[in-house]
Amino acid sequence: MSKAIKREEEVVVISGAHKGKRGKVLSVQAGERVLVEGVNLITKYERKTQENPEGGSVEREAPIHYSNVMLAAKYDAKQK
């Protein structure tokens, strides 16, 4: 089964806790999950390293299942 969602396309979340949010697809991962910019943000705590001497918390996107998103153009056409 081929997926219609590709990297760099704008999508809308159609179900779940982030329903209605829009964002650009950052990556399509194996296991039928997509990483959408600004959606499903989680807090990761990083250790102190030479690259990051402060350490601390960082917010980043977590992947969501591709069935929970729809292409923005298709979504907008359906809303009319």
Q: How confident is the model over 11-65, as pLDDT tens digits?
A: 999 999 999 999 999 999 987 999 999 999 999 999 999 988 999 999 999 999 9
Domain boundaries, the chain: 10-79
Q: What is the fold of 10-79?
A: SH3 type barrels. (2.30.30)
Tokens of 9: 């396309």
Q: Which residue has the tokens 């359906």?
A: 78
Q: Find all residues with CB under 8 Å of 19, minimum gap 6, and list them.
A: 13
Please provide the distance, in angstroms rounded to a whole number, between the alpha carbons at the two ends of the chain: 29
pLDDT at 1: 38
pLDDT at 80: 80
Share of the chain above pLDDT 70, in %: 98
State the pTM of this model. 0.81
